[in-house]
């Protein structure tokens, strides 16, 4: 793996150079090494999903479907969806950042079930392997939502294989959630009460709860689709009296909370970044912590807003719509508290903070357009159009991916003992921000003008906005390539990082960078609230 930094600052042993060789990585139960394994596999899947996105945007430059056939295009957006949702967004922040940082923030030596943690990574790799195999031999064209009866009867692509791959990723997600819940409950350091836990732990705890409660339901829904495909007999078959809308109920019961699995850990990251880089306690700690739990619970009440025009009854639509307005409140609480934390803070504009600003801005736009689509009247017009595509990309790409990159830069010194190059990092953050907005803002307009989703060829009047979106996508692609390059570069040539470059009060920063295998020389004792910067004037920037 990386050469041990030989500078004088790191004479001793840490988790990277304690052991070498393939076996030490592939059979490790050290949560930090598992996090690195996850980071590599998640990055590979991100760029595979990115290739599909690029091909989609290239195809959509012209109204006529002239780059790829419509079948290929259907497979492109399906595989873009499956790879990005199940193999990047859901595991990225929890499995990479969470696995690495959570035990250290809790003051433990490792996750509660280290062997299950490794099993979780292997399940992810097997799932990714099966899905990539299905992609190479033919792909799947049902959309990442697998709506019946198309997925069960009318599609003749590798639906069964993709479902098996996703089931493996689902089990990997369940075991990650299981580990988070058990670790946070049972392995907290002495003195670390629930009120003193950092907010990243609260949001990952809520994420674990959603993973545990939601994933099994989509697992059984997809198993039922697979059964119906293999035996041509199933419970969604209209000829037997089966109801395709029932599949949508079971699917969205998980898939809406799944969007909170994707965004909640990112919110936890932003809470860490905002407090560290404004040197202030978070505003309203209890509210932000309670908001995470509220999002996890309310997230299970709203799934019907994906189905307003799908055929559910008027009264259930009213219920789901009012509930969707309820679930928006905890997210708003978080955003208000972040901005209040920034107020009068000693803000330093380091790269992680730029990503945090990006998150707050773009996630808020995504969240507010969520209020548009939650209104029944508006949703009739905008659902299944590019307005909804823009809405969820603002939250997933503008939110989760931005926070993920911010977290990678923020904890990079802790992971590898190296600093990233600040200049390049700020440049790529700017490029990503511009590229993102040029890509996805036009899609709001396209959606409102009536361009449906998943269209291989579209009406000519939509072309100008589509060309803008494709231009933005190429800028975004460049923006995403830069971190890959300079972060790899920093592994060998990056400046040696001190133990606590940001002067953060986080428990994970109170040990060396990179940390020893058992995280802390002796188990730390927590004596004060999180983010107690007012009590620590002596902690200031070192990097």
Partner 1 sequence: MAEHTVPKKIYAAIWATLLAMTLITTLVAFVDLGRFNTVVALAIATFKASLVVLFFMGAKYTPRLTRVVIICGIFFLGLLLAFSMVDYLTRLWPA
Partner 2 sequence: MVDHPAGHRLVIFVWGAAVYYSYGAPPKNALRVYGTAKQWMWKFQHPDGQREINELHVPVGQDVAVTLISQDVIHSFFVPAFRVKMDVLPNRYRTVWFRPTRAGTYHLFCAEYCGTSHSGMIGWVMVMEPADYETWLASGAEGSLASSGDKLFRHFGCISCHRADKGARGPDLAGLYGKEVHLQDGTTQIADENYIRESILAPKAKIVAGWQPIMPVFQGQVNEDEMLELIAYIKSLQQNPLNVNPNAPIPDEEQRKRNPQVEPQVTRP
Partner 3 sequence: MSHSTEAGTVPHPALQVPYRDLDQQRETATLGMFVFLLTELMMFGGLFCAYLVYRTLYFPSFQEGSKHMDLAIGAVNTAVLICSSLTMALGVQAAQKGRSKAIVSWMAVTLLFGCTFLVLKGVEYYQHWRAHEVPGLGFDLASSTAGVDIARVQLFFVLYFIMTGLHALHMLIGIGLVTWITICAGKGRYTEGYHNPVENVGLYWHFVDLVWIYLFPLLYLISRTRT
Can you give the binding site for partner 1, defined by CB under 8 A?
185, 209, 213, 217, 245-246, 249, 253, 300-301, 303-304, 312-316, 319-320
Residues 6+ apart with CB under 8 A from 48: 83, 132
Near partner 3 in 238-277, by CB under 8 A: 239-243, 246, 249-250, 253
**Structural Rg of the chain based on CA atoms:** 23
From the list partner 2, partner 3, partner 1, none, pick the one residue 321 interacts with, judged by a Cβ distance below 5 to 8 Å according to partner type: partner 2
The answer to whether 418 touches 5, Cβ cutoff 8 Å, is yes
Decide: is 203 part of the binding site for partner 2 (CB under 8 A): no
From the list partner 1, partner 3, partner 2, none, pick the one residue 126 interacts with, judged by a Cβ distance below 5 to 8 Å according to partner type: none
Site for partner 3 (CB under 8 A): which residue of 4, 61, 182, 319?
A: 182
Decide: is 109 part of the binding site for partner 3 (CB under 8 A): yes
DSSP reduced 3-state for 348: coil
Q: Which is nearer to partner 1, 136 or 313 (CB)?
A: 313
Q: Which is nearer to partner 3, 59 or 228 (CB)?
A: 228
Please give the backbone phi and psi of residue 27, each rounded to the nearest 5 degrees, phi first: -115, 20
The answer to whether 484 touches 43, Cβ cutoff 8 Å, is yes
From the list partner 2, partner 1, partner 3, none, pick the one residue 319 interacts with, judged by a Cβ distance below 5 to 8 Å according to partner type: partner 1
Decide: is 7 part of the binding site for partner 2 (CB under 8 A): no
Decide: is 194 part of the binding site for partner 3 (CB under 8 A): no
Classify each residue of 281-299 as buried b or exposed e, where b means 16 or more C-beta atoms within 10 Å of its C-beta: bbbbbebbbebbebbbebb
Classify each residue of 146-185 as buried b or exposed e, where b means 16 or more C-beta atoms within 10 Å of its C-beta: bbbbebbbebebbbbbbbbbbbbbbbbbbbbbbbbbebbe
> What angle, rounded to 10 degrees, do the helices at 199-231 and 99-106 form?
140
CA torsion through residues 32, 38, 40, 42, sign: negative
Q: Site mask, partner 2, residues 313-352, x = CB under 8 A?
A: -x--xx--xx--x--xx--x--------------------
> Applying CB under 8 A, which part among 8-16, 69-77, 353-361, 514-522 lies near partner 2?
69-77
Q: 81 vs 234, 405, 456, CA distance in Å?
A: 25, 20, 15
CA torsion through residues 124, 126, 127, 133, sign: positive
Q: Which is nearer to partner 3, 48 or 213 (CB)?
A: 213
What is the nearest approach in angstroms of partner 1 to the Cβ of residue 383? 17
Residues 6+ apart with CB under 8 A from 468: 438, 442
Q: Give the whole-angstrom CA distance, residue 16 versus residue 349.
A: 30
The answer to whether 425 touches 409, Cβ cutoff 8 Å, is yes
- Single out the residue of 203, 208, 123 nearest to residue 164, CA to CA: 123
Near partner 2 in 248-307, by CB under 8 A: none
Decide: is 125 part of the binding site for partner 3 (CB under 8 A): no
455 phi-psi bin (left φ>0, alpha ψ -120 to 50, beta other): beta
Q: Give the whole-angstrom CA distance, residue 524 versus residue 455.
A: 56
What is the nearest approach in angstroms of partner 1 to the Cβ of residue 247? 11
What is the nearest approach in angstroms of partner 3 to the Cβ of residue 491? 27
Q: 370 vs 207, 293, 388, CA distance in Å?
A: 20, 20, 9
Q: Which is nearer to partner 3, 242 or 494 (CB)?
A: 242
Near partner 3 in 509-528, by CB under 8 A: 518
Q: Which is nearer to partner 1, 194 or 493 (CB)?
A: 194
- Total residues contacting partner 2 by CB under 8 A comes to 60
DSSP reduced 3-state for 514: coil
**Maximum distance among all Cα pairs of the chain, rounded to whole angstroms:** 74
498 secondary structure, DSSP code: -
Decide: is 242 part of the binding site for partner 2 (CB under 8 A): yes
What is the nearest approach in angstroms of partner 3 to the Cβ of residue 437? 39
Q: Is 402 exposed, middle or buried (0-12, 13-18, 19+ CB in 10 A)?
A: buried
Q: Site mask, partner 3, residues 67-106, x = CB under 8 A?
A: ------------------------------------x---
Decide: is 234 part of the binding site for partner 3 (CB under 8 A): yes
Site for partner 2 (CB under 8 A): which residue of 310, 368, 468, 496?
A: 310
Near partner 2 in 373-432, by CB under 8 A: 374-381, 383-385
Decide: is 29 part of the binding site for partner 3 (CB under 8 A): yes
* Binding site residues, partner 3, CB under 8 A: 29, 103, 108-116, 174-175, 178, 181-183, 185-187, 212-217, 219-221, 224, 227, 231-235, 239-243, 246, 249-250, 253, 518
* Binding site residues, partner 2, CB under 8 A: 65, 70-71, 74, 138, 141-143, 147, 149-150, 153-158, 229, 238-239, 241-245, 308-311, 314, 317-318, 321-322, 325, 328-329, 332, 371, 374-381, 383-385, 449-450, 452-459
């Amino acid at each position: 793996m990386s050469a041990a930094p030989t500078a004088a600052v790191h004479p001793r042993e840490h988790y990277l150079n304690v052991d070498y060789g393939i076996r030490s990585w592939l059979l490790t139960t050290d949560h930090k090494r598992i996090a690195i394994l996850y980071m590599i596999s998640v990055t590979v899947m991100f760029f595979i999903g990115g290739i599909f996105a690029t091909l989609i945007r290239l195809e959509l430059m012209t109204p006529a479907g002239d780059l790829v056939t419509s079948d290929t295009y259907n497979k492109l957006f399906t595989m873009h969806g499956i790879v990005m949702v199940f193999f990047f967004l859901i595991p990225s922040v929890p499995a990479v950042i969470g696995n690495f940082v959570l035990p250290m923030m809790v003051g433990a030596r490792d996750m509660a079930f280290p062997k299950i943690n490794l099993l979780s990574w292997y399940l992810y790799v097997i799932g990714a392997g099966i899905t990539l195999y299905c992609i190479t031999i033919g792909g799947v064209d049902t959309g990442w939502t697998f709506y019946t009866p198309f997925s069960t009867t009318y599609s003749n692509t590798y639906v069964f294989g993709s479902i098996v791959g996703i089931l493996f990723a689902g089990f990997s997600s369940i075991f990650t959630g299981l580990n988070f819940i058990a670790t946070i409950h049972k392995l907290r350091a002495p003195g670390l009460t629930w009120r003193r836990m950092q907010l990243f732990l609260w949001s990952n705890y809520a994420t674990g709860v959603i993973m545990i409660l939601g994933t099994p339901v989509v697992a059984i829904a997809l198993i039922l689709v697979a059964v119906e495909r293999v035996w041509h007999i199933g419970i969604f078959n209209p000829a037997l009296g089966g109801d395709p809308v029932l599949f949508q109920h079971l699917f969205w019961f998980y898939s809406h909370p799944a969007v909170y699995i994707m965004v909640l850990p990112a919110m936890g990251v932003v809470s860490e970044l905002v407090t560290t880089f404004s040197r202030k306690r978070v505003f309203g700690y209890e509210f932000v912590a309670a908001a995470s739990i509220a999002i996890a619970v309310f997230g299970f009440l709203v799934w019907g807003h994906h189905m307003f025009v799908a055929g559910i009854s008027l009264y259930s639509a009213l219920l789901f719509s009012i509930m969707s307005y309820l679930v928006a409140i905890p997210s708003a609480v978080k955003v208000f508290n972040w901005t209040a934390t920034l107020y009068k803070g000693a803000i330093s504009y380091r790269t992680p903070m730029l990503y945090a600003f990006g998150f707050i801005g773009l996630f808020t736009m995504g969240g507010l357009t969520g209020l548009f689509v939650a209104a029944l009247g508006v949703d009739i017009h905008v659902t299944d159009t590019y307005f909804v595509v823009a809405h969820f990309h603002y939250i997933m790409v503008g939110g989760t991916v931005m926070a993920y990159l911010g977290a990678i830069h923020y904890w990079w010194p802790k992971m590898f003992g190296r600093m990233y190059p600040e200049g390049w990092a700020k440049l790529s953050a700017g490029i990503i921000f511009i590229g993102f907005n040029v890509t996805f803002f036009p899609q709001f307009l396209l959606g409102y003008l009536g361009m449906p989703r998943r269209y291989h060829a579209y009406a000519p009047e939509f072309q100008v906005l589509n060309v803008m979106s494709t231009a933005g996508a190429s800028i975004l692609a460049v923006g995403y390539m830069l971190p890959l390059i300079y972060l790899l570069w920093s592994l060998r040539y990056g400046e040696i990082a001190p133990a606590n470059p940001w002067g953060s009060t986080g428990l994970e920063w109170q040990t060396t960078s990179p940390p020893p295998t058992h995280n802390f020389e002796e188990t730390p004792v927590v004596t004060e609230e999180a983010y107690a910067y007012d009590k620590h004037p002596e902690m200031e920037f070192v990097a």
